[in-house]
C-alpha cells in the first residue's frame, strides 16, 4: 500500500503517549524518505485532559496542512474515540485499545480492536508501553511506514533505558495482528 | 500583551532552524502555562527546500488547528517571505532577517528587520545561531512567551554543548530590538 497521502490521527488520554506515537511515526516516515507534517498539542495533557497528534505522510511535498478527515484513527480511550470518530473518513481504518474502548459505534470503517493495555500489563508489566504496542499494530495493518523505519525511529526517539522494552512492545503489537484476531 | 490566541509561523530555508524555533517557542509557552498546538514539516528540508513550523499559543484549549492567517510571521529567507506573506494578518507582526530578505513588499504589518545573520557571524562566529537571535527578537517584540520561559526552553531543547551560545544569541536578539533600530 503506497498511497499518495495518508493522514493519521493518534488520540488518547494525557500520559498514554499519543504525542510520542506521532513523533515516532513522523520520524519513521522521514526515514522512509517521505514528506511529513506533524502536529501535536501540548498543555491539555498536563491538565489530565485529552492528548492527540496528527501525522500527514506523503510522497510529495505537503502544503500547509488543511483540515481534512483522517485515513487512520488510533483511539486509546473511549473519550478519544467519541471525540475524533466523526473525523475518520468513510472506509478509513480505526484502531482502538480494546481494554479502554468498550463501545465502538457502528461506522463504515475497518475496525481493529487490540487489547493493548492487557498485552502491556501482562508482557511488559507496565501500561506505559501501550503506545508502542498500538504503533506495532498500526504499522502491520496499514503499512504506512516500514517496519524497519518504525524500529529505527523508536530507537532514536524513546529514552535509552526503555528502547528494548519499547521494541519488544512494538513487536507484540505487530505480531498480534497476524495472530488471527 | 496577552491575547487569547496567537498564531506564529516561522519560515526559512532547510538548516536555518525554523523547526527548532517552533519547538523552543512551543515548549516555552507550555512553561508559561499556555495551551499549544505545534506543527512542523519534515522531509522538505533534507531536500534543501523550504522549512517551516507553526505554533498556536492560547490561554484556552485549542480545537484541532484550523487553517487561518498568522498573527506573527518570521521569515529567514526571501523565498520564505514570498511564500508566506499572504498568510500574515493585516496589522500582524513581521520579523525578517535583514541580511537574507532584501525586498519586503509594502504590507499592512509591523515590520521588524533584524540583521540576524550579521549578528550571528560577528558575535557567535557561526550562522547556526540565527534562529535563536530571531527568537530573542520575537520574544522582546511580541511578548508571546516570557523571557524566562524562552530561556528555560532553550536550555531544555538545544544540544548541551550549544546551550551557552544559544542563550547568548537569544540575548543579542532580545537586546537588539531595544537598541532603537
Give ipTM to 2 decimals: 0.72
**Would you identify the CATH topology of the domain B5-177?**
Pyruvate-ferredoxin Oxidoreductase; domain 3 (3.40.920)
Q: Is the pLDDT of residue B34 over 60?
A: yes
Residue B40 pLDDT class (50, 70, 90 cuts):
confident
What is the pLDDT at residue B2? 47
Read off the pLDDT of residues B18-33 as tens digits, 9 standing for 90 and up: 888 999 999 999 899 8
Confidence at residue A161, expressed as pLDDT on a 0 to 100 scale: 93
Distance from the Cα of B178 to chain A's closest Cα (Å) equals: 31
Q: In whole angstroms, give the CA distance from residue A115 to residue A131.
A: 12
Residues from chain B that touch A64, judged by Cβ atoms under 8 A, are: 52, 54, 67, 87
Residues of B within 8 A of A33 (CB-CB) are 43
Nearest by Cα to B132 from B109, B112, B114 = B114
Query: Closest to A62 (Cβ–Cβ): which among B37, B38, B41?
Result: B41
* pLDDT above 60 for A47: no
Q: Which pLDDT value is given to residue A177?
A: 86
Of the listed ranges A26-40, A41-55, A74-88, B146-160, the one predicted with least confidence: A41-55
With a cut of 90, say whether residue A62 has pLDDT above it.
no
Mean pLDDT of A108-137: 93
pLDDT for A44 = 57
Please check the confidence at residue A46 and state whether its pLDDT lies above 70: no
User: Of B145 and A40, which is predicted with more confidence?
Assistant: B145
Mean pLDDT across the stretch A115-125?
A: 92
| Contact call for B65 and A65, based on CB within 8 A | yes
Q: What is the pLDDT of residues B81-106, one digit of tens each?
A: 998 999 999 999 999 999 999 999 99
**pLDDT at residue B179 greater than cutoff 70:** no
What is the side-by-side strand order in the sheet with B50-58? A109-114, A88-97, A70-75, A5-13, A50-58, A35-42, B35-42, B50-58, B5-13, B70-75, B88-97, B109-114
Mean pLDDT of B112-141: 93
* CA–CA separation, B126 and B117 (whole Å): 9
Q: Do residues B11 and B52 make contact, with C-beta atoms less than 8 angstroms apart?
A: yes
Cβ separation of A30 and B39 shorter than 8 Å? no
Count CB pairs under 8 A between chains A and B. Answer: 73
Query: What is the pLDDT of chain B when averaged over all its residues?
Result: 88
Architecture of domain A5-115+142-158: 3-Layer(aba) Sandwich (3.40)
pLDDT of B135 > 90? The answer is yes
Non-local (6+) Cβ contacts of A117 within 8 A are A97, A99, A100, A127, A130
Confidence tier at B118 by pLDDT (50, 70, 90): very high
CB B108 within 8 A of CB B75: no
More confident residue, B48 or A115: A115
Q: Please, what's the largest Cα pairwise distance for chain A?
A: 43
Distance CA A128, CA B40 (A): 26
What is the pLDDT at residue A67? Answer: 64
What is the reported pLDDT for A48? 58
pLDDT for the residue A181 = 47
- Which chain A residues touch B if contact means CB-CB below 8 Å? 26-27, 29-30, 33-44, 46, 49, 52, 54, 61-62, 64-67, 87
CB contacts of B37 in chain A (<8 Å) are 39-42
Which of A36-50, A117-131, B139-153, B155-169 is predicted least confidently?
A36-50
Amino acid at each position: 500500500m503506497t498511497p499518495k497521502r495518508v493522514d493519521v490521527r493518534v488520540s488518547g488520554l494525557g500520559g498514554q503517549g499519543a504525542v510520542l506515537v506521532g513523533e515516532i511515526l513522523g520520524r519513521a516516515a522521514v526515514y522512509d524518505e517521505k514528506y511529513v507534517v506533524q502536529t501535536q498539542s501540548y498543555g491539555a495533557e498536563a491538565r489530565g485532559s485529552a492528548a492527540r497528534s496528527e501525522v500527514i505522510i506523503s510522497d510529495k511535498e505537503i502544503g500547509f496542512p488543511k483540515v481534512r478527515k483522517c485515513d487512520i484513527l488510533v483511539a486509546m480511550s473511549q473519550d478519544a474515540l467519541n471525540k475524533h470518530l466523526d473525523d475518520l473518513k468513510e472506509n478509513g481504518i480505526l484502531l482502538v485499545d480494546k481494554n479502554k474502548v468498550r463501545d465502538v459505534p457502528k461506522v463504515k470503517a475497518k475496525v481493529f480492536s487490540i487489547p493493548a493495555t492487557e498485552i502491556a500489563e501482562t508482557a511488559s508489566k507496565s501500561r506505559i508501553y501501550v503506545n508502542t504496542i498500538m504503533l506495532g499494530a498500526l504499522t502491520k495493518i496499514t503499512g504506512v511506514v516500514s517496519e524497519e523505519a518504525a524500529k529505527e525511529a523508536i530507537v532514536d526517539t524513546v529514552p535509552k533505558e526503555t528502547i528494548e522494552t519499547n521494541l519488544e512492545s512494538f513487536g507484540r503489537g505487530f505480531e498480534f495482528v497476524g495472530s488471527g484476531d
